[in-house]
Amino acid sequence: MIDSVIDFLAPYTFLIVGAVKAVIIAIGLLSSVPLLVWLERRLMGRFQVRLGPNRVGPFGLGQPFADSLKLLFKESIVQNSADKFLFYLAPAVVVFTAIVTFSLIPFGKPFEIFDQKIGMWVANVNVGILFVFAISSMGIYGIVLAGLSSNNKYSLMGGLRSSAQMISYELTLGLAALGVIMITGSLNLQEIVDAQKTVPNILLQPLAFVLFYIAGVAETNRAPFDLPEAEQELVAGFHTEYSGMKFAMFFMGEYINMITMSALITLLFLGGWHSYIIPVPDLLFIGPLLVFSVKVFILLCILIWLRSTFPRIRYDRLMTFGWKILVPLAMLNLMVTSVFIVIF
């Protein structure tokens, strides 16, 4: 009986494995968002010499869950002047693109279990990194549509700013990543990690790393580049009119993007799941996954650290900085890299 079921399912194994992986990663990702929020609030508390949330549960761990529940049960207000369809579409686009982008991130070595070779990723696309850029550029539309459909001038300004900002910094992001792609000779994220077995790319491409990090912070709309939602000027920017779960979705999108960006930086520059100083045993998939997670965790902490350290940059300076400093530097990096590749 069981044998016949297995025989029947055998040709579809890849589908089953893929579906299971997708579900696990989606759930894991979504549930890590509240933890990340908690981490941010606790760390911010430390940075600002206060305690942060500590009343609900041990170390305030219950706080994010309380918040999520509250947001879930809040009334979802849609004002009359809004473009209904687009108003609902916008947060969906944000979360959708964020999760799809993460599905392209490999976070460990492939391992074998029950004669099945299982890769630690949802999708291993040949042009992986381009795909990541493509999907994440779709993510802009979530914010733009939110700004447009709200029919509110603060939202509109926020949407406008964010689209300009993301277009400008996407360029730097791509150009900085090109340096890594050139020395690896592949667009496949897994191959890029494999190429860093001995030396992580951060040592070969230090400038690209810095540029990528800065552009990555700007792409995820994090402080000091959080102009689309600058509270002092724009109330809450593009999500001024959103409330309840739809507001929470924007939040989720932003935090998933933080994780994705940190993971991408880990893959491109920090050697992914390779550990360099301390040898870590494989243990099926736990070792590499642990190394990868630690690296991502450190990067996330740095993101939060940046937020509490730097004041928000002025809008015109943001543009000048992006176009007149980062892009030329990225091109310079590209040229130097190509000269080195030709010579060696």
Report whether 249 contacts 94 (CB < 8 A): yes
* Residue 331 interacts with other proteins (CB under 8 A): yes or no: no
The site string for other proteins over 64-83 (x = CB under 8 A, - otherwise) reads: -------------------x
- CB-CB contact of 107 with 120 (8 Å): yes
Q: Does 130 bind other proteins (CB under 8 A)?
A: yes
Which listed range, 51-59, 134-142, 258-266, 325-333, lies at the site for other proteins (CB under 8 A)?
Answer: 134-142
| Peptide bond before residue 224 is cis, with ω within 30 degrees of 0 | yes
CA-derived radius of gyration, the chain: 21
- The answer to whether 212 and 269 are in contact (CB under 8 A) is yes
| By the rule CB under 8 A, 154 interacts with other proteins | no
Sort 215 into a burial class: Cβ within 10 Å, 0-12 / 13-18 / 19+.
Answer: buried
- Smallest separation, CB 294 to other proteins (Å): 31
Choose, by CB under 8 A, the member of 38, 102, 131, 238 that binds other proteins. Answer: 131
> Nearer to other proteins by C-beta: 147 or 272?
147
Helix (H, G, I), strand (E, B) or coil at 275: coil
Q: Are 270 and 202 in contact (CB under 8 A)?
A: yes
The correct pick among 29, 122, 144, 218 for binding other proteins (CB under 8 A) is 144
- Distances from the Cα of 306 to the Cα of 151, 212, 225, angstroms: 32, 15, 10
Rounded least distance, CB 261 to other proteins, Å: 17
What 3-state class would DSSP assign to 116?
strand
Among 95, 100, 140, 176, binds other proteins (CB under 8 A): 140
What is the spatial distance between Cα 166 and Cα 261, in angstroms, rounded to a whole number?
A: 14
- The answer to whether 176 and 215 are in contact (CB under 8 A) is yes
> Is the Cβ of residue 118 or residue 127 nearer to other proteins in the bound state?
127
Total residues binding other proteins (CB under 8 A):
28
Considering beta carbons, is residue 160 or 235 the nearer one to other proteins?
160
Site string for other proteins, 93-122 (x = CB under 8 A): ------------------------------
For the chain, the residue count is 344
290 binds other proteins (CB under 8 A): no
Judge contact between 305 and 43, C-beta under 8 A: yes
Contacts with other proteins in 179-218 (CB under 8 A)?
187
**Which residue in 86, 301, 306, 334 binds other proteins (CB under 8 A)?**
86
Interface residue with other proteins among 147, 200, 228, 322 (CB under 8 A) is 147
Side-chain half-sphere exposure of 252, counting CA atoms within 13 A? 27
Q: Applying CB under 8 A, which residues contact other proteins?
A: 83, 86, 89, 126-127, 130-131, 133-135, 137-138, 140-141, 144-145, 147-149, 156, 159-160, 163-164, 166-167, 170, 187
